[in-house]
Amino acid sequence: MAKKPSFSCNECANITSKWSGRCEACGAWNSIVEDAGLSSSGPAKAGLGTVRGRAVQLTDLSTEEAPPARTLSGLNELDRVLGGGLVPASATLVGGDPGIGKSTLLLQAAAQFANMGLKTIYVSGEESSAQIRMRAQRLGLTNAPVQLAAETNLRDILTTLEIENPQLAIIDSIQTMWSDSVGSAPGSVAQVRAAAHELTSFAKRRNMAVILVGHVTKDGQIAGPRVVEHMVDTVLYFEGERGHQFRILRAVKNRFGPSDEIGVFEMTGMGLAQVTNPSALFLSERGTPSPGSVVFAGVEGTRPVLVELQALVAPSPHSQPRRTVVGWDGGRLAMILAVLEARVGIPFTGLDVYLNVAGGMKISEPAADLAVAAALLSAREDAALPAETVVFGEISLSGALRPAPQSENRLKEAQKLGFTGALAPAGGKGVKVDGITLNQMSDLTAFVGDVFGAG
């Protein structure tokens, strides 16, 4: 059967079944083009016997090849997030808000990799070569054998890469790249998609590693929506709060290593400095134990990280009390509040609730549930938690507490930082860490009774 032609928008990639002058999805004019699909040209309708093409060679799963030799940059925080160094012929996307420090990080990485012997080219579509050289001077990197180009024309960039044959190319940023084979403006979804596709397939073909920088839009996606993420092997996000100097490089996808791994950096006047002990840094601003403040023993990837959670609960002047969260999921906060009310009988009606993760850190682990509940209760009851105590564990809707993975890792980190107690769910493997008194409870009611002396 003949396949109906399909059309897509060059601006927003929306797919429709009929052509029109204006895209219904994004409102752009003259952006709809017919997709030249394989099947629309005919062979499918004549049946399998006339399918044109050559047979693809098939192989089995066994391999004699050694895993590819990775290159370490020497920046441990970066190497760990990459899964143990840079893989040859890999494609990596580094996303983040404008101004967060992506260019700084990648210029430093370029210098490190070049010093390690990789032939490295840094292409900027955003800054002039002079600007990049000035930044390099400020970062003390002027002697690194990195080659710079300030260019946005994709055809010229690919030609240069073909002639120079580098082992690593850094493209800053994918939104500024412009391919003359696509008829829409730079930064549009169609351009970003075409540029990312050209660069990643070039990288695979020529055995070159490529790192693409991508700006994140307001709603937290790399523009255009996810089109680049599935093309690359590794997706890293560079996060941080403007007012804080901490920056977190987080692997959200990695074909060559664990995702969820984080690297922690600090933005200084001389570029990004590695933070080898993030817990100490995140807790450095903590004062004396006060109501509403709780230390959560978290794990990011393979590394334990202690962070302070701060809650404030106050009578609300509004008919609809406020729920404000920074660094954690708002939906999850609503769930914890509902469980506290329904299972333990502690209502938050008529109360404004604010929750903040100190230091600009973002937490997504369910194991933070119990620490959040503890912070909320401590703020509500105006009672500080026992001193030098960490909290972790997941809360289920029934009010039961579930053990968290890597408990031993969490306790060891707490012990290392001078904590002496931990509040955690019962069950799981019996872990013991010298110097930490572990207080385990099986449900939230027991937790509240034990810690706050009331139900």
Binding site for ligand TYD (CB under 6 A): 96, 98-104, 135, 138-139, 267, 269-271
Q: What is the DSSP string of 127-185?
A: S-HHHHHHHHHHTT-TTS--EEEE--BHHHHHHHHHHH--SEEEEE-GGG-B-TTS-S-
Task: Find the shortest distance in angstroms from Cβ 172 to Mg ion.
Answer: 6
Burial class, 315, CB count within 10 angstroms (exposed 0-12 / middle 13-18 / buried 19+):
exposed
Does residue 31 belong to the site contacting Mg ion (CB under 5 A)? no
Task: Find the shortest distance in angstroms from Cβ 215 to ligand TYD.
Answer: 7
Does residue 184 belong to the site contacting Mg ion (CB under 5 A)? no
Task: Find the shortest distance in angstroms from Cβ 137 to ligand TYD.
Answer: 10
Indicate which of ligand TYD, Mg ion, none lies near residue 72 (CB less than 5 to 8 Å, by partner kind).
none
Indicate which of Mg ion, ligand TYD, none lies near residue 90 (CB less than 5 to 8 Å, by partner kind).
none
Task: Find the shortest distance in angstroms from Cβ 158 to Mg ion.
Answer: 21
Structure tokens, 209: 């590693």
CA angle 422-428-429, nearest 5°?
A: 90
Beta partners for residue 352, in sequence order: 314
* Residue closer to ligand TYD, measured from CB, 230 or 242: 242
Whole-number Å distance between alpha carbons of 346 and 351 = 12
Indicate which of Mg ion, ligand TYD, none lies near residue 271 (CB less than 5 to 8 Å, by partner kind).
ligand TYD
The alpha carbon of 138 is separated from its chain's Cα centroid by a whole number of angstroms, namely: 27
Sign, CA torsion 76/261/279/285? positive
Task: Find the shortest distance in angstroms from Cβ 52 to ligand TYD.
Answer: 46
Structure tokens, 326: 């920074």
* Residue closer to ligand TYD, measured from CB, 15 or 130: 130
Q: Count CA within 13 A, CB hemisphere, residue 50.
A: 8
Does residue 103 belong to the site contacting Mg ion (CB under 5 A)? yes
* Residue closer to Mg ion, measured from CB, 103 or 378: 103
* Residue closer to Mg ion, measured from CB, 213 or 344: 213
Indicate which of Mg ion, ligand TYD, none lies near residue 270 (CB less than 5 to 8 Å, by partner kind).
ligand TYD
* Residue closer to ligand TYD, measured from CB, 102 or 380: 102
Whole-number Å distance between alpha carbons of 213 and 105 = 11
Indicate which of ligand TYD, Mg ion, none lies near residue 244 (CB less than 5 to 8 Å, by partner kind).
none
Task: Find the shortest distance in angstroms from Cβ 269 to ligand TYD.
Answer: 5
* Residue closer to ligand TYD, measured from CB, 136 or 190: 136
Task: Find the shortest distance in angstroms from Cβ 232 to ligand TYD.
Answer: 18
- Whole-angstrom CA distances from 70 to 89, 284, 447 are 10, 35, 47
Indicate which of ligand TYD, Mg ion, none lies near residue 383 (CB less than 5 to 8 Å, by partner kind).
none
Structure tokens, 417: 């930082």
Region binding Mg ion by CB under 5 A among candidate stretches 83-91, 101-109, 309-317, 336-344: 101-109
Whole-number Å distance between alpha carbons of 12 and 31 = 9
* Residue closer to ligand TYD, measured from CB, 213 or 373: 213
Q: What share of the chain is helix, strand, coil (3-state, %, to 5)?
A: 30, 25, 45
Whole-number Å distance between alpha carbons of 212 and 172 = 6
Q: Which residues are at the interface with Mg ion (CB under 5 A)?
A: 103
